Structure 1
């Protein structure tokens, strides 16, 4: 019992010492000066806005005096502060409220607890209640701890399975819906701008990457798996954050979804450690102090890849050529079109249209992709939203007015006309691979015979603006109606005067006629 009393006496001692070291503050108008046993550097004096306190207790036969300041905020409860209470057997404490009033000496307590003066009045019922209460509480705590541990174990095992297997089966979304169903439902039931952000993050963070299918200056493209289906994951370098943000922003434009524009699914930024970094990403990771932020853009996967890859591998029939040309023009027409209304769509110009930025779908139609350089037109304010991106379009596909810097950057139609010029070059690439009567050309890039493989702007300007040259249209195309019409459309897309060029709608009409 004496040992218990001695141990319990340490608590008030620690509390009093802490109060003495922290209770003093700046001396104000009503500051109180008190004697302080622990304030050696302050000449054994402390200041407070509350009370002076003196306490004496007996520990191991030795008297211990404590004099200190008690801040006003710690004088609780009012009228009978905790710090000012005495214990006849353990400590004698006194609080006062005048300068140095705590210099008085107090009676030293015995240091031993007294035996209870009266026998316990607890009956059997009270004792059972006292014992059963803590036992029940302990039992309840054990059950709660067990449930929490079991929950965390299940979450941990689920996460392990998500990392090793196709995670889509564990999604909180309806299991009987494919990704295409989910995108269709959520995009057509609302504004048409795509999936809600929380669904985007849920999808993006449960995709399993399978293989790399492409590389570019922005980063890498992977084929991923979600719910047993394939998706394309464009992973941007951390240095291309502006391009990632801009492309995600454009893809989520209201009412942009169209069968001939690449289907956007999700965007997410995922922080990774060293273990997740590919060898090609090490340099960027070192620049970021050993961490790597993956900027993901998830879209529909098209196994044929880009139109550039497709035309390199295959020739096309006349019907296939028309389908490619018509769908490319249809996608560009929707991109350029402004839809007025509360759920309207701004006009968008691509600014980097080329065969490598157009994908070929399984049904042989085109889907326009890579909107990182796109600009939007606000019809209400007649302003153009141009992203602060240092990248320019592909030099080989630049329109004459872009090459000689005469394009009117304040007029949205100027950007649309530049897209039409590039579309004409894409038509030329498609038509060259058309197999008519067993005759076709080898695949080549536009101006392959006039400029180097990586031409400069000056080299392109000299050919396109000064010499006014355009890709060669073979004479034998005149023998086939479809190729003859394609050649006519190309020339009308290549005019030096942008205002004289075809619009995507007229291009579609010409395709339909053929």
Structure 2
């Protein structure tokens, strides 16, 4: 009887371990869809300190003013760019002194006990007399090493076949047969964008972006905002604009870089994106967004300092409408583009090119339309648009944020205000530059001020009498008024505005 009991117990333990093994294998094969993570934020995505994601659980340690701060949340799969080494889970150094990030997806709540450790700053040591005696030897060896590396590179380069075509220099590597690679040192930024995007318009490869960012020299500051600063930089003799975000604005930086790299977004009236990179000097982390540089600055700066004629007004307005129409357009196909709404269109976010056409920039608040699920991809950042340019339905919170079309109609309202600002600076007797509703609200209006003027009193910027005697200004004012209707459904579409302005420029609209 005793022997029989032992056999039964052994069988029981054997079945128990077998079932545990099967459960472990099942958990290992189980997809990450529905992964539960610990979170310490407030909001609809974090309920009872738990969020759910199809991507990774996130944990970070940040040192601010000598105090460690831990942060926990979910990262969605669609935000993992690139998927094999995503920005959001990257730390510039393996052990950083100010910010350390760690992600996991092995099991539910895997980030609860994660405490990424900061690397303490090593104490400074005073060189001894013996060390100074070694320095000349070290310098000599370094010089020899550099010379050897240059000789090896030149010898290897001379064995490759160089070809010159269409004004660009290519290298054909024997081991890669027909594969061609542009030489970073001899190509301009325009060349690299044309040669490496393969027609997709989704931006430069990540390694090329990092190479460019590491070689930029900051020249002078050209602007400041709530996100950080904008600098003019130099890369191989070319001017570039460098938007520097603070580490607190990581979500805004990531979102804007993600939107700029949307397939087929590149357009002559959308600010040209070049690269995004995070730079760490050992004390703090800077987040860089590198774009084309336009020496005329923003449309706000341009209108404040200069007046324009009727032809320039139509050209500027048409270029902004063309860029907005491209943003709003949904391009269907394998390499298609989702429809995008800007959400913060204003003169400070529009730049003036040397030919006096405009480009739309600052896409950090943009939302995308997911056609498959008919949903709206809204950024997680807490930033909101500029109150002065908010549409009535945004101010009184009646807009249906689950649908995409209301976001486009809100952009059209903001566009009407931008055209009003441009039209004031046009004509034989232009008015002094003023922002919209300058005569109704304070310089920095509160939401209540704008809600009272726009929603309750239903006021709009005044149209000067002199516009009625000018055929172009009169036609422009009609377009304006059709952009800022109180009823969003009655407003023009960006495409309709583009066609109407093109007709005004050609004179057909005025004749009608």
Across the aligned residues of Structure 1 and Structure 2, the Cα RMSD in angstroms comes to 1.8
Change (3 A) 1:399 1:154: farther
Structure-2 residue corresponding to 1:450: 440
Structure-2 residue corresponding to 1:397: 389
Structure-2 residue corresponding to 1:222: 231
Following superposition, the deviation at residue 153 of structure 1 comes to 7.0
Structure number with greater Rg is: 1
Say whether residues 1:467 and 2:461 are aligned partners. no
- Report the more deviating stretch, 178-187 or 237-246: 178-187
Structure-2 residue corresponding to 1:133: none
Structure-2 residue corresponding to 1:94: none
Contact 1:485 1:510 in 2 (8 A): no
Instruction: Give the secondary-structure state (helix, strand or coil) at the position aligned to 2:276.
Output: strand
Hey, what's the Cα distance between the residues in 1 that align with 2:184 and 2:403?
A: 46
Following superposition, the deviation at residue 336 of structure 1 comes to 0.5
Instruction: Give the secondary-structure state (helix, strand or coil) at the position aligned to 1:482.
Output: helix
Q: Structure 1: give runs of 5+ residues left out of the alignment.
A: 1-145, 157-170, 274-290
Structure-2 residue corresponding to 1:335: 327
Change (3 A) 1:360 1:154: farther
Say whether residues 1:426 and 2:452 are aligned partners. no
Hey, what's the Cα distance between the residues in 1 that align with 2:243 and 2:340?
A: 21
2:477 aligns with one of 482, 487, 492:
487
Hey, what's the Cα distance between the residues in 2 that align with 1:218 and 1:412?
A: 26
Say whether residues 1:311 and 2:303 are aligned partners. yes
After the TM superposition, which residues 149-188 of structure 1 pair with which residues of structure 2 at under 5 Å, given as runs? 150-152=144-146, 173-187=183-197
Structure-2 residue corresponding to 1:22: none
Hey, what's the Cα distance between the residues in 2 that align with 1:428 and 1:343?
A: 36
Following superposition, the deviation at residue 485 of structure 1 comes to 1.0
Say whether residues 1:302 and 2:297 are aligned partners. no
Following superposition, the deviation at residue 190 of structure 1 comes to 3.9
Contact 2:342 2:411 in 1 (8 A): yes
Following superposition, the deviation at residue 248 of structure 1 comes to 0.2
Following superposition, the deviation at residue 147 of structure 1 comes to 8.5
Contact 2:325 2:494 in 1 (8 A): yes
Following superposition, the deviation at residue 148 of structure 1 comes to 8.1
Deviations 1:98-134 (A, max 9, x none): xxxxxxxxxxxxxxxxxxxxxxxxxxxxxxxxxxxxx
After the TM superposition, which residues 347-426 of structure 1 pair with which residues of structure 2 at under 5 Å, given as runs? 347-426=339-418
Say whether residues 1:252 and 2:253 are aligned partners. no
Structure-2 residue corresponding to 1:213: 222
Hey, what's the Cα distance between the residues in 2 that align with 1:235 and 1:155?
A: 34
TM-score normalised to structure 1 length: 0.63
Hey, what's the Cα distance between the residues in 2 that align with 1:294 and 1:415?
A: 31
Contact 2:182 2:195 in 1 (8 A): no
TM-score normalised to structure 2 length: 0.64
Structure-2 residue corresponding to 1:271: 280
Contact 1:261 1:368 in 2 (8 A): yes
After the TM superposition, which residues 272-291 of structure 1 pair with which residues of structure 2 at under 5 Å, given as runs? 272-273=281-282, 291=283
Say whether residues 1:503 and 2:493 are aligned partners. yes
Hey, what's the Cα distance between the residues in 1 that align with 2:225 and 2:252?
A: 13
Hey, what's the Cα distance between the residues in 1 that align with 2:190 and 2:381?
A: 32
Deviations 1:403-458 (A, max 9, x none): 00000001100000000000000000000011x2x211110000000000000011
Instruction: Give the secondary-structure state (helix, strand or coil) at the position aligned to 2:434.
Output: coil
Following superposition, the deviation at residue 155 of structure 1 comes to 7.5
Following superposition, the deviation at residue 152 of structure 1 comes to 4.9
Deviations 1:282-334 (A, max 9, x none): xxxxxxxxx21010000000000000000001100111101110000000000
Say whether residues 1:203 and 2:197 are aligned partners. no
Q: Structure 2: give runs of 5+ residues left out of the alignment.
A: 1-139, 151-180, 505-512
